[in-house]
Structure 1
Amino acid sequence: MGAVTEQQTAPPPPNHRRRRLVPWTLLAIWIGILALAMSPAGKFGDAEQNRAVDYLPTNADSTQVAKIQDKLPGGETTDLVLVYHRDAGLTAADRSAAAAQVDEVAGAHDLTTKPEGIPSKDGTTLMYPVSTNEPGTDEEKRNEFVADVRDVVQGEGGLSAEVGGNGGMQADQSKVFDSLDGPLLYTTVAVVAVLLILIYRSPILWLIPLVAAGVANMISMAAAYGAHEWFGTTISGQSGGIMTILVFGAGTDYALLLVSRYREELRRIEKPYDAMRTALRGCGPAVLASSGTVAAGLFCLLAADLNSSRGMGPMGAIGVLSALLAMMTLLPALLVLAGRKAFWPLIPAYGSEPKQRRSIFAAMGSSAGRRPLAVLAGGAILLGTLALGTMNLPGSLKNEDSFTDKPESISATETLAAAYPSRSSQPIEVAAPTAKADAAVAKAQQVKGVESVERGRSGGGWTEIAVVAKDAPESAGETATIHALRESLDGDLGAYVGGASAQLIDLEDTNSRDTKVIVPLVLVSVLLILIALLRSIVAPLILVAAVVAVWGAALGIGGLVFEPVFGFEGADPGLPLLSFVFLVALGVDYGIFLMHRMRENGLAGQEPVPAALSALRTTGGVIASAGLVLAATFSVLMNMPLVFLVEMGFIIAVGVLLDTFLVRTYLVTSASVLLRRKLWWPGELSKEPAAAQPPPPAASAEREPATLR
């Protein structure tokens, strides 16, 4: 009995203690991190900035004008247009009511000039340009000012009264961005939760990756706020929304790969801790390379001149890296602590074999294996044909077409465009050195297409000049006038030409420049990471070529549906570049998952063709699940009220689905079968294995007694 008692009270072996201690230690560390992150994460929303200057190109004329206006007496101006309209023509009572409301606005706020009514020629409309410096650069105060004016400006008895202008449009955009955070997060979480339940068919397992993703989202918000405070990184509603999508989309992808590999190892290894260690060793390099490609691609956006693109780079990278950290440390700890019961009712018992069912991916692999050249050629032709749709993409998106629903500012703009077809309702803003302001005014008056020129505020060596064009805002005529003003006022005068319409011109020009710079950077960065992971040059080139083809096809599908089906009047100038970065960086993920498994199979001794088909059978389900989750998370953007976000969500979702169910399953597998060992050139797998030499008879005889003993 004494021996038995001593055996029962003996301490557990060191390995056993480590198995129990490591997961609990990781969990405790994460609880501490989460506690520290809650305060800065809570300030994330307050740090969001959605002013025009936060989205404009850094070096453009319009950006310089906005920066100079910030430094003028009173700071940045908020420009509104009060629009009164009656279809049958304004009555004397309408004009009196409008004048009284304008006087009330002027009495309640410090306006830069006294508003003067401008009637339309047909007598149906009366507009009052209103400008103030009260809010300055404070976005919240600007929105409050616009809301106060809208409370005063009211129509009745058939008289419509609307508040538009650049300030009204910015307030409406800000309202949209403010409304994104909650709905975007809740919808994304709901979509991911439903998909995980369907994928895992377990009442428990789906919750563990979702909790890890939620923690990662909290950490990313805290880290992004820290980057904003320490390095001045811009946080906008757009970049914040994309960061959330990336955390849940990419994070869930990593979780799916890890859980799938962990389930495999639980059938071969008794202890969950040991099974998790083996799973991490197996899929860890693929996940690290996958997150590395996404982060590297996003960091390439730092080379952009466009502020919105450059700010999105570090924000998105922070989201991806936060997801990686949580899925490679917190998720494994939670899974090990939950044990095999987390998979209930489909528990992977130790020593069991999974049910052998002929999957759709086995069938796909068989067809690709039988006719690889035909499959590859057919897929390439299909993608190339779809890419032709890019020629049907609508022109650049105008401000008035940027909302899916029509806010008040857009309705006011449409009323003005109909009532004042030969007059601009928003001035072209010029900033000229004060010493040369008179010369700038005189020269601007001589430019073709200019209706009127008015000298404005002065301060800090600069003077603001308001130029009204003869043509409607964002029309071809006004665009020509802006170009003519820039050509005339640049040079010796050193003046800058900006304003809302000039900003759109600069956005289009800068996006074209950024695309030429960033696309090669992304391709080289992704290619180098793939070469380091796969120890090959040919395989990475195939993967990169495939994702570029997917991007072209997805953009082509957008060209076929944006205007004819969705009714969108334009495409955002930044759509091609941002969709390229996301699709190339994210699309390579699935190629990494597939080819890393092919390489594992090859290193284990399988021949190239069986290695490729086996990799597809093993990872096909995971890649399909991951693709569905990522496509679904980005499709959440299609419910947002901004055309740009809808277009972005559509392109990326379609591209991910093409990549998942066509490129990875058929085309990459077909190319692997077709190239065989050439796929891995110049790595070790590209060489034929040396033929095994039988041992000499004498050596066999010498070893036999030892073996028998």
Structure 2
Amino acid sequence: MARIEPHPRPGTPHLHAGRFAQRYARAVVACRHVVVLVWIGLVAAVLLTTSPAEGGPAARLQGFIDPSDRTLATEIESAKEFGFPLMSRTLLVQRDPDGLSPYAQAEVVLRALALNRGEYPEAEPVRGALPVTNTLEWFPASSERGTTALTYLFMDPEAGTGRQTGSAQRFAANHLEADDHYVGVTGSIPAREEQSHIISAALPMVERVTLVAIALVVALHFRSVLAPVLAIGTAGAAFLVTIRLAEIVGTFFDTTVPEELRPLVLALLLGVVTDYVIFYLSGMRRALNDGLPRLEAARTASGQYGPIVVVAGVTVAAGTAALAAADSPFFAAVAPAMALAVLVGVVVSTTLVPALMALLGRALFWPTRRPVLRPARVQAGQDRGIRFLTRRPVALVVVLTLTAGLAAASLPLRDLRLGVGFVQSLPETEPAGRAAAAAAEGFTPGIVAPTLLLVRGQDVTARRGELAELSAAVAAQPGVAGVLGPGTLPAELEDRLLLAPSGDAARYLVVFEDDPTGASAIAALRTLQQRLPELMTGAGLAGASWGLGGDTALASALVGITEGDLGRIALAALVVNLLILVLFLRALVAPLYLLASSVLALTASLGIATWVFQGLLGQDGMTFYVPFAAAVLLVALGSDYNVFAVGSIWAQARGRPLREAVVLSVPQSSRAITAAAVALALSFGALALVPLAPFRELAFVMALGIVLDAIVVRSLLVPTLLVLFGQVSGWPGRALSGRATAAATPVPAAPPGSP
């Protein structure tokens, strides 16, 4: 913990570090040349040894959930019972708005039959096909007739997404002619493959834009040319080392970061490293402006901010590691990578940055040679503002107003709906998105991935009337566009596709009205699940068992797991952040309301995002992982800023009344925190350059949450809360004991133009 210098310069309080921090600062400055050479060697080693990334995204949506899930078991049981699957996650789309010719429609059926007979060995890993046209009027909800044909391809489940998608595309290129009006390949597997390519293609642009944004923020804040070079170099070194370590850790533990979250890890790493660089350089500039020599200034800044950076970094790393408490493999896989990225950033910041500060000194702030002084009127206005804000009646009004405003902004969060939306998140300009849109126009959006309903019971196939009645009952449920089931197809097709040879199973394909992995389809499926026991009884099938499979059922299971993880993740993140704040501040009361303020900023951000994306933009829910990843990150980053802002106030309050400590510390810390927050917000905001819906959502939520936390919470709400709670904030510790009683004491104004 930092302590106050016995005789600080008026208006520029100079914090000195504890004994351990002083030893660390002396060591890193003394070994500055070695430290820089070691980091150069590490970066060179990484560049020389890093191999191209191998593999790709999981082969299917199942990779996101537990393999023992009941939904997967239903699909496996169906394939075993019938000898072949009825579920397909890859399909060819043909469409002519003016109508497909009878010849083209006949060819669709003939090609599918040939695939089923194995007449296209080059189509490996295709195992079979099912043709569907909207001419047959199997789906009453189809918006057109005779315009669209689909060929569902059944693939070897062991083949990866790239192989499955490539096989479908090659088959279409080799066997479909111009008059077949081929649109493209779509389905959850091609969509996943396409998402992977989009992310990989966009990552370099995200990196470049993020680095440029960081450079501009640092350059403007310090009015320097070399300061942004140091920030970018440090962030780059951290990024390269993190990527290599992540590969090693992933190989050792047989884990990999989901493709969807790799840009998020990048933004987090670059953002937090920039934050820590800004705080170090702020301390260095202040020490140099106080007249300290280069090496002494580097030691002073390192001793002051080194321990705070470590505590802040550990807070963020521990907070992100809380995702490991999730049952979902999706979240559990990304937790180590995020924690590792932050820890590497801490190590780089606490070693390379002080070493470079010691080597470069005031040259870091070139071309600025003299202290940057604010105009006297600006300084005086800021002093009057903070003194006015810290009057108890004013502070009470500010706390009530801000709390009410943030609470009101949180209200739309009640309407938050979650989906997966693999196909839905793709731009329609992409092949899979364009093909899905064409299929939706000819049929209905749910046609891209129908849901499997498997009914099992002894001699159940002999009860055709009851099975047909169930088809009609399911088709009448809300959100269901149509059903392919017993009673809806010619008898010969029913016998082959829908009624098991054993006589003990029947199956249905249920097509929903909306995107099959979107929030609306998931809601419709859950309604169907609740009503199925009643529907089975009403159809005379009370003794039979049933199960659901397909992408909608898997998406529902994934969203359900995520919702179930919320309690564990939230509890783990809050406990970890609270514990670190309690240990750092040696108090209990202040950490409680500091954490509560961070949570309030988080819920306000999510509430506004829900209103924007679901309300203004009419989006069908938000991507399932966005609110939870944002929640963990924003709470952790909020605690990170708490460490910097309140830690400074705590140290000042050791030698003066709490209100005076707030008046002296807040203007100084808020400037650095605001600059750091802008850099971090831009880092996450760059995620919007990835042209996928989840990244636009993440960019918006994270950028908004960081700005709210830094500007509204840290600069306004926290100082007023400290004044209102007074010395009780430090309970049960004694850090503030006897200091807040002088709150009414006049606060000395900082001298005009103090930095």
| Structure-2-length-normalised TM-score | 0.78
Q: Quote the Cα distance in structure 2 between the aligned partners of 1:51 and 1:362.
A: 59
Tell which deviates more after alignment, 633-642 or 544-553.
633-642
Which amino acid is 1:513 matched to? Answer: G
Deviations 1:5-57 (A, max 9, x none): xxxxxxxxxxxx98886111111221232233335644446566574234335
The residue that corresponds to 2:680 in the other structure is 630
Deviations 1:553-591 (A, max 9, x none): 111211221134434232123333222111101122222
Q: 2:719 aligns with which of 669, 687, 690?
A: 669
The residue that corresponds to 1:649 in the other structure is 699
The residue that corresponds to 1:533 in the other structure is 584
Q: Quote the Cα distance in structure 2 between the aligned partners of 1:327 and 1:537.
A: 29
Q: 2:283 aligns with which of 257, 261, 272?
A: 261
Q: 2:101 aligns with which of 68, 81, 91?
A: 91
The residue that corresponds to 1:118 in the other structure is 133
Q: Which runs of 5+ in 2 are unaligned?
A: 1-25, 138-143, 475-482, 487-493, 498-503, 537-541, 742-755
Does residue 690 of structure 2 align to residue 640 of structure 1?
Answer: yes
Q: Quote the Cα distance in structure 2 between the aligned partners of 1:225 and 1:70.
A: 37
Alignment partner of 2:674: what SS?
Answer: helix
Alignment partner of 1:221: what SS?
Answer: helix
Note the 1:46-85 alignment, pairs <5 A: 46=55, 49=58, 51-56=60-65, 60-62=69-71, 79-85=89-95
Tell which deviates more after alignment, 126-135 or 497-506.
126-135
The residue that corresponds to 1:37 in the other structure is 46
Note the 1:99-248 alignment, pairs <5 A: 107=120, 108-110=122-124, 111-120=126-135, 121=137, 122-133=144-155, 136-149=158-171, 151-152=173-174, 156=178, 159=181, 161-248=183-270
The residue that corresponds to 1:679 in the other structure is 729
Q: Quote the Cα distance in structure 1 between the aligned partners of 2:175 and 2:558.
A: 33
Q: Quote the Cα distance in structure 2 between the aligned partners of 1:423 and 1:135.
A: 22
The 3 A distance-change label for structure 1 pair 382 and 317 is same
Percent identical pairs in the alignment equals 23
Does residue 334 of structure 2 align to residue 320 of structure 1?
Answer: no
What is the CA distance between 1:301 and its match in structure 2? Answer: 0.7
Alignment partner of 2:273: what SS?
Answer: helix
Which amino acid is 1:118 matched to? Answer: T
Residue 598 of structure 1 contacts residue 611 of structure 1 at CA under 8 Å; is this kept in 2? yes
Residue 280 of structure 2 contacts residue 353 of structure 2 at CA under 8 Å; is this kept in 1? no
Residue 26 of structure 1 contacts residue 329 of structure 1 at CA under 8 Å; is this kept in 2? yes
Q: Quote the Cα distance in structure 2 between the aligned partners of 1:597 and 1:440.
A: 74
Residue 57 of structure 1 contacts residue 510 of structure 1 at CA under 8 Å; is this kept in 2? no
Return the structure number with greater relative CO, CA threshold 8 A, min gap 6: 2
What is the CA distance between 1:313 and its match in structure 2? Answer: 1.2
Deviations 1:377-433 (A, max 9, x none): 11111111111232354564644432354533334334434433598453435899x
Alignment partner of 2:226: what SS?
Answer: coil
Deviations 1:203-231 (A, max 9, x none): 21210111010010011111111121001
The 3 A distance-change label for structure 1 pair 689 and 506 is closer
Q: 1:374 aligns with which of 394, 397, 404?
A: 397
Tell which deviates more after alignment, 497-506 or 650-659.
497-506
What is the CA distance between 1:626 and its match in structure 2? Answer: 0.7
What is the CA distance between 1:335 and its match in structure 2? Answer: 2.1
Residue 161 of structure 2 contacts residue 192 of structure 2 at CA under 8 Å; is this kept in 1? no
What is the CA distance between 1:345 and its match in structure 2? Answer: 1.8
The residue that corresponds to 1:610 in the other structure is 660
Residue 58 of structure 1 contacts residue 305 of structure 1 at CA under 8 Å; is this kept in 2? no
Q: Quote the Cα distance in structure 1 between the aligned partners of 2:251 and 2:407.
A: 45
Note the 1:232-631 alignment, pairs <5 A: 232-268=254-290, 270-347=292-369, 358=379, 362=383, 364-370=385-391, 371-393=394-416, 396=419, 398-421=421-444, 424-428=447-451, 448=471, 449=474, 451-452=484-485, 467-469=508-510, 471-472=512-513, 474=516, 475=521, 478-481=525-528, 497-603=548-654, 605-631=655-681
Q: Quote the Cα distance in structure 2 between the aligned partners of 1:69 and 1:341.
A: 71
Alignment partner of 1:305: what SS?
Answer: coil
Residue 399 of structure 2 contacts residue 721 of structure 2 at CA under 8 Å; is this kept in 1? yes
| Structure-1-length-normalised TM-score | 0.83
Q: Quote the Cα distance in structure 2 between the aligned partners of 1:439 and 1:287.
A: 69
The 3 A distance-change label for structure 1 pair 74 and 123 is closer
Deviations 1:99-125 (A, max 9, x none): 687799862303312543534335333
Alignment partner of 2:131: what SS?
Answer: coil
The 3 A distance-change label for structure 1 pair 630 and 414 is same
The residue that corresponds to 1:22 in the other structure is 31
Tell which deviates more after alignment, 307-316 or 204-213.
307-316
Residue 440 of structure 1 contacts residue 495 of structure 1 at CA under 8 Å; is this kept in 2? no
Q: Which runs of 5+ in 1 are unaligned?
A: 1-16, 457-462, 692-709
Deviations 1:584-612 (A, max 9, x none): 01122222111110111122x12111101
Q: Quote the Cα distance in structure 1 between the aligned partners of 2:708 and 2:36.
A: 38
The 3 A distance-change label for structure 1 pair 542 and 635 is same
Deviations 1:656-686 (A, max 9, x none): 1111111111110111122222221122223
Which amino acid is 2:409 matched to? Answer: L
Q: Quote the Cα distance in structure 2 between the aligned partners of 1:175 and 1:149.
A: 21
Alignment partner of 1:684: what SS?
Answer: coil
- What is the CA RMSD across the aligned residues, in angstroms? 4.0
Deviations 1:70-102 (A, max 9, x none): 999999997322222222222235436656877
The residue that corresponds to 2:491 in the other structure is none
Deviations 1:324-367 (A, max 9, x none): 11111112112222222121122367xx9887651875454233
The residue that corresponds to 1:702 in the other structure is none
Q: Quote the Cα distance in structure 2 between the aligned partners of 1:166 and 1:572.
A: 15
Q: Quote the Cα distance in structure 2 between the aligned partners of 1:414 and 1:428.
A: 19
Q: Quote the Cα distance in structure 2 between the aligned partners of 1:295 and 1:116.
A: 51
Residue 239 of structure 1 contacts residue 315 of structure 1 at CA under 8 Å; is this kept in 2? no
Which amino acid is 2:201 matched to? Answer: S
Q: Quote the Cα distance in structure 2 between the aligned partners of 1:441 and 1:139.
A: 35
Tell which deviates more after alignment, 300-309 or 155-164.
155-164
Alignment partner of 1:613: what SS?
Answer: helix
Q: Quote the Cα distance in structure 1 between the aligned partners of 2:457 and 2:432.
A: 32
Residue 49 of structure 1 contacts residue 237 of structure 1 at CA under 8 Å; is this kept in 2? no
